[in-house]
Each structure stands twice: as structure tokens, then as C-alpha cells.
Structure 1
Amino acid sequence: MTPKTETQINYFREWTNSCVDDQLIHLNVIPLEGQRPYEFLFYSDAIPRRNDGRVTSQILKRYRHIEEGGWWCSGIDLLTGEEDLWGCFKPSQPRHSYDQKKLIKYEHPPKTPTSLFALKIPLHLWHQIASRYQIEILPEDINNNQPDFGFWQWFIAHPQIPLCITEGAKKTGALLTGGYVAIALPGIFGGYRVIRDEYGNRIGRSNLIPQLEKLVNNHREIYIAFDQDTKPKTIKNVNAAIRQTGYLLTRKGCNVKVISWNPELGKGVDDLIANHGQSVFDEAYQNALPLELWKAKSFSQLTYPVNIRVNSRYLSEQHILGSISSNNLQKLDNLDLAYSTDFPAKLVGIKSAKGTGKTKLLEKIVSEAVARSQKVLVIGHRVQLVQELCQRFGLKYITEVDKKSDNKLLGIGLCIDSLHPNSQASFNPENWSNGVVIIDEIEQVIWHGLNSNTCRQNRVEILRSFKTLMQNVLGGV
């Protein structure tokens, strides 16, 4: 028996560390060294070549590092049912990008469109998946002449089975091992393509790649399980990819859900399973949010860097005024949101712990607004919290307002449930165009408006009023 090389040992350990089934690894992943990686990567006719057919020296120099070895992964071409030429190679010694700012960890076949990873499934995992969804595998479903034994054709024929979409081949391997049907994209934006002209200008609508469209065209339930990152720029990109991919999937009639977990438990889904066990992912899967609710929740997540961090026992007005440049809208990781015409910015977000003086700071802002006859509106999601704030600010809660004199009041407090014309407040956003709006615990307020049962009957009117209110007080910013 030929002894295994270090490359062979390392690749298998890397995949098993991601909790991927041994047989699944053997079906889809192979170690490559020397000249062999070129055979898997350089199959496109569009690659620059010399007259004798040899790849140009410039290209060979760029890819010289692959000769040091690594692993290759590819699965099934869903459009043909055959082995997929496309895949990825993870070199043991990766190269740097042109600007030298990052390592290129994975190499895909150059000059050819990207696809997705639909891995070959061993029969025992196929039975595990069928058992999870209580579907019988018939003898005619298994085709020994197909490289995947007919699994993906069987899956396409059963639209009642959900599909998980993740990024990266190892992660889809971990999900398949756990009994979930999953495919992987080569990148978060890899599920769709934007039609552009030769100059890079967009000339058409975005569309799902054909391989993905073939899996979802029967109104299938889709679960998106991308990495949980902590970098603001990465979060912004991931959220954008989920929104666009999710939109295109819903256009095909799919019910899209988004799986999230605490990044401290692991960045990727394979890390989550490896660090904390399959049951933790199962729980995250069960708690996946419908796309629209996820979009509402992600709206309040930090996507821009904080303008200023304060290491102080109490907040002061100088902390706010001195931190924000003129006419600059800041989206901060916020718990409280305040607007004032005296502030250099029209929208200010504050995040700080209890007992650091947020409410005391707002007392001063309200007092100054009332002194100059400027209206103040306090919005919350719980009656008791808003009542307590009104007491601190010297304002009336909506239930204390006399209908005959409400127009003369310079300030009131109410819950977002009352933010519509048919409520006790008879709310009209046009009355607050030059007002100060304080939203206490804005993340919970927005979530409450979008999701709570108490807002269900008037949700459309509430959201319409809220949108108009913010447009008016922010002056279209």
C-alpha cells in the first residue's frame, strides 16, 4: 500500500474537523500535487494560450503556487446530472491578491462562470435525509449509473424537502452530514448574476444562476445559512447578498428563511456544529426568521462604524454635539434615537449601558425644545416605559390628553401601536414636521411595529405613519 502524503492527511483532517462524513469526503474531495491541479483548473478555451496550445507564461507564473499541493472539491452538474468540471482548489500555499492585502484561499477555474457545490451523497446520508422528511426511497429512485446514484434528481422531484444554502463546500458537507439537503455557493453573491455589457454597465435584471433555479422552481422552502461575522463591512455585504438572493428566490415562489446564531459560537455553520454540536444548529434552524422579519431585524444592526466611543461614567450633551459632523446622517448601533433641530446631525443614535445618563440628557433636550415652543413626541413599545419617560420629561401620556386641548400641547408620549389615524391619538404625522422625536429602545420599537399581534390590525397604517413621520422630521434625509 502506498503511504499517504502529508497533503492527503491534511485535507482529510481539515474536512473531518468540519464534521463532514468520511464517505462524503471520499466522494467529493481529492488531494492534488505537482502538475495535477492545472488539469482541474485550466479547462476553459478562453484561457490565454500560445500557438502550441500551452498556457501563457504569465498565467503559469500566477498559478505556480498550486504545484505545492492542496485539495480539490467538485460535485454534480445539476444541468446535466454528470460529474461537474467546475469546482474549487484550496492550495496549501495560497497566493496574495494583486494589492497584496489578502490571501486568495480558494482557486476556481479561470475564465469560466462559477457554479455551485451540489455534492455527491453516500446512500446512508440519503436514507438519513429521507427519514427526516418521512419520504420513502423507491428502488427506481436509485440509479447506479449516475455519479450521485440519482440523489439530486430525487430531490428535485420532492419540492416538500427544504433546501439550505450556504457558502463554501465544507459547510455544505457539514449540513448534509447532519441530514439537511444543502448546496454551497462559491461566494455570498454567487447565487445570481447581473447582466452587464462589455463595459461593465448593467443592462438587465439580476437572475438566479441556472443551477440554483433548477432546485427551487417548485416553490421550495429555502433556508439561507451564511457566516455570522462581526466586521461591519462584511455584515453589510452579507446582508445585501441575503436580501438580493432572497428576493430572487421569493420571485420564484419560494418561502425564504434566514438562519442566524451568535457569532461567538462560531463564524461558519461548520464551526457552529464542530464547537457546540449538531443540536445547536438544529435549534438555529428551527428559529430561522422569515425573510421579511429578518430584513426588519437586520435594519437595526450595526452596518456603519460608530462615530465616537466614549469612556465616561455619564453621557453629556458635548459627547453628542461634538461627535457628529454637520448634516451627516449616522446609523449607529442604537438603543435610543433622538432628533433635534439644534443638533448638527438630524438623526442621532446612542448606545450605552443603564445608569449612564441617557434619560437625563434627553430631559435637557426636551426642556429646551419646550422652551422654544417646539413639539416633542416620545415613542416606545411598552406603555409603562413611555409613561415613566413622560413623567421624567414633564409630558402627558396619550391617555391623559384632553381631546379639546391636544393641539395646544407641546409634547405627548405614546406607543407605536397608536401611530395611526384611527387610534386614541388620532395620529397625523403632518403635525410633527418641525418636532423633536425621541424613540426609546428603537430596535424593540421597530420589531414591535413589524411583528407584534397588538399592531396586526393596523400594521399598514402604523408603518405608513411612521415612514411619513420620519421623512417629515428628517427633512427628506
Structure 2
Amino acid sequence: MSHYDQGFWKWVKDNVDVAIAPVEGVKKAGALLSKGVAALSMVGIWNGSPKNEEGIPELHPQLKYFAQPGREAVIVFDQDGKIKTQASVTAARERLSDCFRQACCKVTCLAWETEEKGIDDAIAANGSQWFDEMWKKRGSKPKTVKLSRIEHDLPAWNEKSITDWLATLYEKKLIYEDRTKEWYLYGGQKEGVWSITSNESIERMLMTQMDNLLDESKKFNKQIYTAMKSVKESNRDKFEKKELLSQLKEQLIDYRSYKLRFVKDCRERLSRVVLIDKFVSKSDPNLIPMANGVLDLQDRILHPHSPKNHYTSALPYEYAPNTPYQPIKEWLIEMLEGDLSLVEVVRAYLHGVVTGRCDWQKYLELIGPGGSGKSTLIRLAIALVGFENVHNTTFKKLEKSNFETASIKDKRLVVITDAERYTGDVSTLKALTEQDTLPYEKKRQQATGGFKPTCMVILAANENIKTSDSS
């Protein structure tokens, strides 16, 4: 192959009874030349019949040189079973065949039954004797190809298939809690955090995926129709065309438009697939979820977020170990009038708020007149854990409303203001700080059992709190 031509191609030119074999690529041409076939290498299946300035296909000059009346041109293109590739190969082969026929050449095609796509691989796998037999069997029409099914992950358009597809798509990122009848979505609102998501939001999310699925199905079917068009325009007889068209039609996706009822049905079915009895948030005082990862307080290593953690909140800032804290300590000393023991108590409680130490079963009570720094300290606590992780309430709402405790679920901090104005029972506050089960009830929804709170509590009042509970 590395030697200069010593007259072989001139000999081919002078002997019209010698067949030529246009083939894609030098490797395939070399394999055929080694078997005594006058193979002509093309750079791409379309380059053998480029279009002229008027848009009419014509033979490449190097092919035209050998395209003499009566010469046989054996087109040897890959035996690819993929629909999109097969459509392109069929169209390119038919165009090249027409150009050779216009030059009064006899056009035949080489086809084989083995699994190898290219003729070079087929010769290497099956041997010289196999090739000799295949060369003798070359025909004037391309052999009918058994098309392999095109590779895709698009589901059938029915409730079960769509739901299974969605379940795979949202694997480990979507949970439905049986106890509270709530959806949890990982990373939906904040990276690394599972957040409660409404039915309507879930349905909107599913609709977006279904719309994408429709677009992908249309693109897939467009490939099928392109292949069918090439088959119809080919020089195969009507029986072969019918067989190939039947194979192609079988692979069309039967997609259709959908209604909201279908989305709701898929949501209902999906809730059973991703169902768990109880969503348990990870509670480890040595691990703190932050904006840029999960901080291990023992070794100060920042680990990446993971849905396995089941965190329902994260601090709203990134871990920055060199951030100065002295200004906050100085302000606490000033607010507490130099009482260092109280400063350490407040700092300890703020540390508990950040690390989620609800196991302490303690609440922080702030008493003092307006302007004494209560509100500033509360704002500091809220800033430490993030506003979205805090629930503000009053004693009256907490103790009297049946629906208030549902708002506490998965919060890191509960702030109770105007506490001195309430003089009634504080059983809910006791249950909250002692980690007893609280009821989970929402308006216009059936009660769904209870939950154990995982939050710290800060009370703020201008005067000492007076309640009917002496304990």
C-alpha cells in the first residue's frame, strides 16, 4: 500500500470488464484491494456524487475517470442497522447509483448478513473464502436489510410508562411522605436541601418533562419519516420497499397531546412509586449543612451535598473559616452590660440554633424594654440560619390555632414575640421544647398525624411572662 502505483490503475482504466468498487474510507479500500478488488476510496458517502453549481449531482472526477460505458460499479457502503444512518446511506447510495447509470455503467451492490458494519471488519472476522462467496453473490439491487431498532430511552405514551420514566428521572430527588401527604423535592429551592413542594408545583414540573418528551418524540419520528422517504425514493422493488417501510412504521412513537387529568393521574401514580412512611431529617450536631457543602465540625472538612443526607434546611451562607466574629461578641458584651456569663449563654444558644441542638430541650427567653437589643439579637439569630428556616408566631396563635404547628415542621428556629401579653396554657410550647409529637394539620386538608419538631425557640417580651402553667 505504501508503494507508488506501477500501472495498476492504468490497467483498470484500459480494461472495462474490471469492476470498480467505490467505498468510504482508505481502510475499507485497502481491505478490498488486498482481495484483488479495484476499490476507490471516498471521503464520506456523499462525496462520490457532489452537486454542481446548478445543484445537480455528478460523479467525482476520480470516479468519472473510470466510469466508462459497460463497466460494473460495485457500491460497497456500510451495513448499518440504525435508522438515521440507514436513511443517509440509502439516499447516498441511490444518488451515486444514478450518476453511474447516467455514465452507462452497470451498478451492483455488495451486501452481507453478518453483524459487522464495515466491509473491512467483515473480511477480518469471516475470512477470504467468505468474501469470495459474497463477491460472487453481488447483485444489481441492494439486499433487504433487517433494521435494528433505533436506540432511545423514550417511554410509551401511557400512564404507567410515563410514570416509570419520571420515577427514573427523579430517582433519589423526589419523595412522597405517607404520614403527612407531602412532596419533598431535592434541590428544588436550594442546593443540598429537600423542600416541601405543593401538588401544583409537582404537576407543573411533570408538565415540563412531558412537553420535553413530546418534543423528543417528534424529533425521533422525524428521523423515521426521513428514512421512509429515502426507501420510497430508492430503486428497490415494491415488495422490498413494503418490507422496509413496515419495519420503520413499527418504530414510530405513538405520542399524543395530554390533558391536565392525565398529569394528575401520573402524579398520583408517581406518589405511590416514591412513597415512604416518614421523612426523617438528618440530625447530627457535628454536621452543619451550608450553602457550599456540609461542614463536619470535628475535623472542619467540608463535604459535598448529597440527597442521602435528607436535610430540610441549610445555612444561607458559605463556609468561610477565616471570617472574623469579634464585632458580634463586642456587641453582645455591650448589650448585656458587660455580663460575660450571659454573653456566653447567648453565644452557646446561638451555637445551638446553628447546629440544631433541639436535644437540649431549652428555649431562650429575652426580656427587656424596647431598644434593649432584643430585636437585634433575634435578627442575628434569623440571619444565622436564614429567614426561610425560621417561623415567627405568637403565643396565642401557637396555643390556640389548630394549624399553627404545621408551619413549624422542618424549621430550625421558632421566634415567639409579644410573649408577655399571653396568660393562658403553654402546653404546645412545652411539647415544642421537649420534642414531643406535634399535630400536623393544614386548612382544607385532612389531618395526617404528627411530627417531632427539630427547632430551637426564642421568646421575646417586654416583661416577665405570666401563664396559667406554673411548671
Specify the TM-score bucket, using the shorter chain as the normaliser: 0.3 to 0.5
Larger Rg computed on CA atoms? 2
Q: Given the two structures, how large is their TM-score scaled by the length of structure 1?
A: 0.32
